[in-house]
Chains A and B, each alone.
Chain A
């Protein structure tokens, strides 16, 4: 009894993958993710040697070559977010959503297939970018003869792989925002607000929001990118886990509104 249902979920997944891979914008966005992501790492790391030599002893003690080579996540999260947003909003913008829902009227199944496909792409792209950025960064640091890390050093693998997961979570947040907002501009503005504006303006917010910021993107959740423990965030994976819960909540809201709304 369940096999036809499983079969058709597989069909929905395959259809969503065909739709994603057949758009040039998908591949442009991925190319942009790697071009910009690695470009920032390259530029930032090429001057890091100078920084290290002019730094104070205290700063040198806190020197975290892994974290430095991964700071490109700040921009990369926006680009991978665009990928997640477009999976949903490009269908609303073009009217494609009507075709998609006519073919797959079970809305939760359609959105679930989009989430799965987005996750698959984001896991691969996110991990690939983080590992590539790490190796590029360390190679540049080594060439300038300043302390650098290798993947086997304590906490390094966890920071790099955790970074890939962080980017995946942001891509899923973007899918959720795209579904709720139904428009690229609105969803992107919201994403920028979440990952850039709220962390910058954090000081203005009342004390009770501090707890929330421990799990916020670019704030507490970004502690996963470090290997030198930050006293404020002793368990970085808890902070990342908290952000993932928040992303899950956004996705739940997305599933609810996606089923209810007229197209």
Chain B
């Protein structure tokens, strides 16, 4: 029933939902409430038809990074009883550990809620932003940013494959050298992105991008009553949750 209700929603409605969920993720510190927001994000993302499970599978690869962030956060924001100490020096505290977990939950909320936007094509997202009076150039930049993400990911895969095809078995390399190898990913990805963006801007200018002050739109979005209702409900829900968090009854 939820899937039917959200099917074909205006991209602006989805943007408001994502903004509400991300805002809650940023401002709330309580782990239980963050978990609730994450669950709601997951349910909404699935209802919108986003490939959430494939995203979660991909997130498994960066699980190590999440754990590292949680550990670093707990080390540098210590509070409460000591959970792990080495030679009298407290490494991880109970309070610090909980802060680390809340940081991971926060990042997960942002990632999962962002998958809701992936259910609209970039053309619709740009048009939605333009109709909300966002300058076309800025709206287009958002779309180009989204478009570049798979390109960057492909670039990284190409470099890892190229390194392995030079006879380097990544699983057999000591960790110290592996760090050096992975640092090789930075240069081609950054320079590749810069070269592509320069080529893209040239291609756009040859098609008279920004040559005229006004643009007409081939596609016009119109919001239905359920879009307005969803936006109002999302904003009210977001405000209520924040009020409950900051001023509990």
Indicate whether A and B interact: no
